[in-house]
């Protein structure tokens, strides 16, 4: 939904007082923060308006302030940014900044237009694998699963492809350190992640062949649309795993946490068990659901159905 919003809100530059230089998508529809993440993280002017930063130009050259001296490749980024800004719109002192909402004819933003779009997306859900919108998962997990399905997760190779990362920046998988961090790798093929899927699958006494893509995974996973707690729990697994793996990846990358996939699999099983108890009020304990699922499903007589 955030993506839809960003794509359809167009800012018109006036005097630059209301537009935030780094954050707002005031030039070519993308924010500078998104396209120049390193410079943004180093900037001491994160909250400054376009007018404020523009006023510091010297002889027509943009001047930026950073919290430390830049490295050579960061200087290159500044050059890239300056070139990009050459085509930016000039400030118009007498006009206020404004924005228009492209979805509505009036060009004014309305919640109902977002709602209409949302309803249309949900209705065309035939194409979206069912697991994406699993209602037991939280909205942010559902949204993340949708991003992964669309191939829009910001992995290193995605960032390289759109030119955000310089070519020489490290882009290896943070878990195995041996392959490039591509979407399929980090979510499916990385041996550590693969083990994690295998743990979830064997928890349900299933055997599986590793699918070649996230879409293949979601399609394989959702066989039938049962309403019992057993099938609901099974269907909630993919969005939980995708989201949890990405969260762990970020903790490893940005906080230096060592990946513990054994612990991750256990935590995910507990999470599913908690959801089952919350949504379906089953009598089994969390411990039983995590440790004795095989027996529970035998009793429920549904071992061979999802
Ligand atoms: Zn890996």
Q: Give the phi and the psi of residue 195 in degrees, each rounded to 5.
A: -60, -35
Instruction: Output the CA 293–ligand 1 centroid distance in Å.
Output: 30
pLDDT digits (tens, 9 = 90+) for 221-275: 876 566 788 888 888 898 899 999 999 998 988 888 899 999 999 999 999 999 9
Parse the chain into domains and list their residue ranges.
7-85, 128-300
Q: Is the pTM of this model over 0.75?
A: no
**Cβ pair 180, 157 in contact under 8 A:** yes
Task: Specify whether the backbone of 16 is left (phi greater than 0), alpha (psi in -120 to 50) or beta.
Answer: left
Number of other CB atoms surrounding residue 112 within 10 Å: 8
Instruction: Output the CA 252–ligand 1 centroid distance in Å.
Output: 12
Instruction: Output the CA 261–ligand 1 centroid distance in Å.
Output: 12
Instruction: Output the CA 191–ligand 1 centroid distance in Å.
Output: 6
Residue 32 CB burial class (10 angstroms; 0-12, 13-18, ≥19): buried
Instruction: Output the CA 182–ligand 1 centroid distance in Å.
Output: 9
What's the confidence (pLDDT) of residue 169?
Answer: 64
Identify the residue with better confidence: 108 or 214: 214
Instruction: Output the CA 190–ligand 1 centroid distance in Å.
Output: 4
- pLDDT at 306 exceeding the cut of 50: no
What's the confidence (pLDDT) of residue 301?
Answer: 65
What's the confidence (pLDDT) of residue 128?
Answer: 58
CA distance 196 to 238: 11
CA distance 97 to 10: 11
**Cβ pair 50, 91 in contact under 8 A:** yes
What's the confidence (pLDDT) of residue 160?
Answer: 67
Instruction: Output the CA 257–ligand 1 centroid distance in Å.
Output: 15
Q: For 162-171, which contacts have Cβ atoms below 8 Å and span 24 or more sequence positions?
A: 164/34, 164/35, 164/36, 164/37, 166/73, 166/76, 166/77, 168/73, 169/73
């Amino acid at each position: 939904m955030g993506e839809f919003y960003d794509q359809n809100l167009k800012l018109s530059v006036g005097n630059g007082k209301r537009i935030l230089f780094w954050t707002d998508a005031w030039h070519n529809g993308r924010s500078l923060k998104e396209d120049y993440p390193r410079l943004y993280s180093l900037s001491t002017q994160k909250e400054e308006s376009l007018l404020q930063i523009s006023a510091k130009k010297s002889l027509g050259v943009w001047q930026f302030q950073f919290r430390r001296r830049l490295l050579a490749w960061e200087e290159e980024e500044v050059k890239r940014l300056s070139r990009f800004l050459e085509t930016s719109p000039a400030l118009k002192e007498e006009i206020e900044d404004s924005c228009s909402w492209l979805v509505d004819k009036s060009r004014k933003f309305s919640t109902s237009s977002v709602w209409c779009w949302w309803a249309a997306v949900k209705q065309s859900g035939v194409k979206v694998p069912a697991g994406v919108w699993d209602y037991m998962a939280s909205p942010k997990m559902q949204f993340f699963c949708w991003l992964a399905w669309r191939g829009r997760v910001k992995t290193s190779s995605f960032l390289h492809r759109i030119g955000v990362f310089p070519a020489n920046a490290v882009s290896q998988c943070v878990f195995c350190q041996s392959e490039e961090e591509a979407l399929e790798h980090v979510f499916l093929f990385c041996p550590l992640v693969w083990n994690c899927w295998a743990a979830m699958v064997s928890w349900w006494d299933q055997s599986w062949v590793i699918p070649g893509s996230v879409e293949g995974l979601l399609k394989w996973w959702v066989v039938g649309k049962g309403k019992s707690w057993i099938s609901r729990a099974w269907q909630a697994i993919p969005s939980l795993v995708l989201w949890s793996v990405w969260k762990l990846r970020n903790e490893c990358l940005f906080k230096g946490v060592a990946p513990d996939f054994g612990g991750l699999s256990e935590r995910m099983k507990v999470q599913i068990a908690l959801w089952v108890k919350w949504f379906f009020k089953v009598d089994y304990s969390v411990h039983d659901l995590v440790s004795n699922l095989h027996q529970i499903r035998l009793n429920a007589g549904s071992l061979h159905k999802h």
